[in-house]
Chain A
Amino acid sequence: MTETDQYNFAYLDEHTKRMIRRALLKALAIPGYQVPFASREMPMPYGWGTGGVQVTASVLTPNDSLKVIDQGADDTTNAVSIRRFFQKTAGVSTTTRTTEASVIQTRHRIPEDPLREGQILVYQVPIPEPLRFLEPRETETRKMHALEEYGLMHVKLYEDIARHGEIATAYAYPVKVEGRYVMDPSPIPKFDNPKMEMAAIQLFGAGREQRIYAVPPHTRVVSLDFEDHPFEARKGGLSCALCGSEESYLDEVIVDDAGGRMFVCSDTDHCEGRRSQACTEAEG
């Protein structure tokens, strides 16, 4: 018996997958709306992407090619273990190339290379409720979503400007989806917010909070702001130390004990792609 025979395809049983797919369809029908679902216990701790893994398991088919990234990187613990989990339980092929993957599960980043139609981007979400830290009552936040009472979200941005002179929220920057629901885009840097108007399907899974939400392809996603303090997708003004890219989002890496540091692309696939391309160009 091989390992794939011991599990149902992609770990979850078919009834669970059906339940999750129904939640996904509802979420896609109402962009930005948080759909409750019966989140299952997964063989990993909460906070490690239990929501994202359940969504991925439900959308995965045997012909899919899976890519898993954590903070943009394919080789970090979270990414490696989730990728191996699906290799074992679903036997699907995996890849690190953004363009070759059909399903991409991500934590805290959107890949630099633009996604195309037919691809699915699955986000791991820790806290799906954008109003959580402003209004602790879930009954009240649900009512606020239902009645479109989003003034409070701007109070948070007001506080940012009053305290820091600018909107200092740098990640999990609230967005309004298709002019209706205010949504937490999961803790991606606000640099990635404009990329959310994309051709691929975006699915968000929060395991502990038992919520699924989605952004269908080519949906309007507007970052909230003030008229006199417009939204700005910003990053540090440096370039990648490895590939020299000035457009990509960078990670700071400590390289020695003497305070030495370097900035490299957080999207490892994008960085490698650029470097091998530069290599071929130099040779050719």
Chain B
Amino acid sequence: MSAQDCCEEPCRHFPEDAWRPEAPLLAVRGVSKSWGARIGCADVSFELWPGEVIGIVGESGSGKSTLLNCLAGHLAPDVGEILFDMRGAGLVDMRRMAEPERRRLARTDWAFVHQNPRDGLRMGVSAGGNVGERLMAVGARHYAAIRGQALDWLDRVEIAADRIDDRPASFSGGMQQRLQIARNLVTGPRLVFMDEPTGGLDVSVQARLLDLMRGLVRGMGLSAIVVTHDLAVVRLLADRLIVMKGGRVVEAGLTDQVLDDPQHAYTQLLVSSVLQV
């Protein structure tokens, strides 16, 4: 199945009343995280709306990953609110949420794609088992059904069906990254965090992966937050862009607007430093 097919076949069904486009999916208000005098990120606020993809760009050490880890619950922010639109409960502050609930959210409605697929995959478990893990974590106990869904998802991320019983260690870097994406999206999450999803891949593999991700994000109507230092990635994937420097947001706006008409000096530098081949 190609990426286009999944547009015709919606992967998630919202109840009619749950669809409230007037509420953001994720609202971030004044989030700061520092380690003593060192600032991780400072006073970051934005809203992510359903179906929207936000790119966070900036140089190394600008606090992108710290921010993402705060949002995904891997780090506890010092101050600020992170509100997520829970199904049926409205906006809930993640910091006040009990750990069991947060962990359940992390394996159902959320997904986290690591830069290094080895961090996100179980290297000793076959590709099918990797994709099936989240299904089994939410209670799937029918082997044939789990395997069927794993096959379906391997197909969606363009991994041949006969590799289902191979371990990810025997996969190429690009295949591992696609497997990680399949493993994350199998439970139909509403929000995907991506940390440098194309980092460490060569350019042609990057292009293919980006194409695939764009198809999946658009087809499933996913909301996503993509952290990257690669402006080409955000140009292709993101609707809106946040530019960070020294832990602070220096510019934010529509992707094309920010990239074509950068206002802040640092953004101008970032845009002009892209290599033209």
> Which positions in A face B, CB cutoff 8 Å?
147, 149, 151-152, 154-155, 158-159, 161-163, 226-229
Contact = CB atoms under 8 A, between A and B. Distances in A.
B259 to A, nearest CB: 41
* Chain A interface, DSSP helix/strand/loop, else mixed: helix
Interface string B93-114: 0000001100100010000000
Contacts, number: 51
A226 B138 contact: no
B103 A149 contact: yes
B146 interface: yes
In the A-B complex, the 7 residue pairs with the closest CB atoms: A151-B137, A151-B136, A226-B143, A154-B136, A227-B142, A147-B100, A162-B165
A154 B107 CA distance: 16
B125 interface: yes
Contacts of A149: 103, 137
Contacts of B100: 147
Nearest to A159: B129
Given A158-B128, A159-B126, A162-B165, A152 B133 contact: yes
A158 B137 contact: no
16 contacts: A147-B103, A149-B137, A151-B133, A151-B139, A154-B136, A155-B122, A155-B129, A158-B136, A158-B143, A162-B128, A163-B126, A163-B165, A226-B142, A226-B143, A227-B143, A229-B143
Given A147-B100, A155-B122, A162 B137 contact: no
Contacts of B38: none
Contacts of A158: 128-129, 132, 136, 143, 146
* Chain B interface, DSSP helix/strand/loop, else mixed: helix
Contacts of A151: 107, 133-134, 136-139
Interface of B: 99-100, 103, 107, 122, 125-126, 128-129, 132-134, 136-139, 141-144, 146-147, 164-165
A134 B93 CA distance: 32
Given A147-B99, A149-B103, A151-B138, A228 B143 contact: yes
